[in-house]
Chain A
């Protein structure tokens, strides 16, 4: 780099004029600075859908009755244990005692009742209101016991209470959580410098195992190049969802860093408008799926990171069925199917939102579709525009998007959801699933649901988004996977 004479000159001039020294060595570190690409719009997980909210506060500041473990399992949290009635309608939660909110007030059954009732209220702005739809009533038995009665059995109820949208808040502070979150977690809210960072500090009165960091700073760096520079310069200790997979090789080669590859709940799909001709013809949709070479997209757009999928389900889920063969790359079959459908000279719109999986993946898919005789008109749109035009107005043929909520196959039962499937048989499977509590039966139904949408070629299933993280090699305890969108810092520490 300094072989370049102009650079060398510039460097020496600047060096002389600034004359600044090297930063002093650090003492034993008790804090961690974590990079995130997006800043949360607010810090209330019960009042918005932005993943960035949970990425800051989930398990750190706020806790629910249950919680997700690093492997996606459901663990007790504020509820120490629970009993489920034989008919599956009543859940009695035994709450932990001696738990305090960060403002010093006691946590008890009234807070649980308040939180659940608030989330399911008519005027609730909880983005995942549907999680609470089956609750008929919430009753306080005594300060340490809450009884939740459901209107019908719901096998996912304990899963639902683990979501960030279901955390327990206090009536006195709930309204201010957007700017000043008050929870029961091991970290309390410190400071939020808008556009820059959020600081969390250790909660000395935490009920559970004490955390090993005094302070965690989440720093928001949207530009991938800047994110790379910040890691390299040592300004950040970790970037759990690093935005530029192309730089990972460089981090891997550097002993200062460790690269952590895991899986996410993000199914990346080529969504198709199922009600718009000629995509309302299953043969055309099937042809499109056979025209796609998933591995080429993973290699070309994601630098090899990602797991091919054949249906809308996370491969790490025990109920996952590998259906990739059903829509294997076969351009000849794709051409034959198009001929069978009587479609020729097809031109489809392909609307691409900002993430690189969509922009880069879209270019590759366009080339692959061209091979089988389908032309595409690519339009790059920003998120707000995508939401308006594609998601709301359904004004599209094809689009690429990652669905990152855990276990979200239920969206296929929504009649007016943007890809417009809403098949009656599928809805029946979902209804049975909601009523089933027996694990074997649930697995069977989840697999039937996966097969149904694969058989109907609702969308092109591309790959499960990988979680590509970079961290200081001495920082341990970060989540490798994202069973939910979170940066759980409770087990993070510096290795001596």
Chain B
């Protein structure tokens, strides 16, 4: 009897500890996201280290009011949950000065651009952005993980939240939805690549 109680307590403590430590860490999980997907998965790692937006100064020709960094900044201050979102902010700020020198104006047009497919362990994610000039007016999901009921269930509640976040942030620098981390990472990756393409 004593042994049973002891075993049970050890097991529970072990699992709680493991989860506690795991919840504190960020890096290893993100690294492995890239691992399973051979092809487009690599974009996921790139996104975390150096945002794709950097090499495309042409994209931000006509700065629209919503394009200002303010909303994003606000978001970061209100919701600094993970260290990753803070890390993301830094290189983005650096790119800003580089944006201004490009002079070629472009008419404000409406365009729809599909992003790359990002592989997640639960299936591919692909989104399409609708841009009005430089403004993101809509994000729709072309593919979401739907391998099983569970995946589509998660994708079903995560996608609207991610869309809302993206619209208010006007960028791909958004937080992942808790409980749908892989789907969020894929969504963000695909969205970023769509924005890159739209800008190029």
**A associates with B:** no
Tell me the A residues contacting B by CB distance below 8 Å.
none
Tell me the B residues contacting A by CB distance below 8 Å.
none
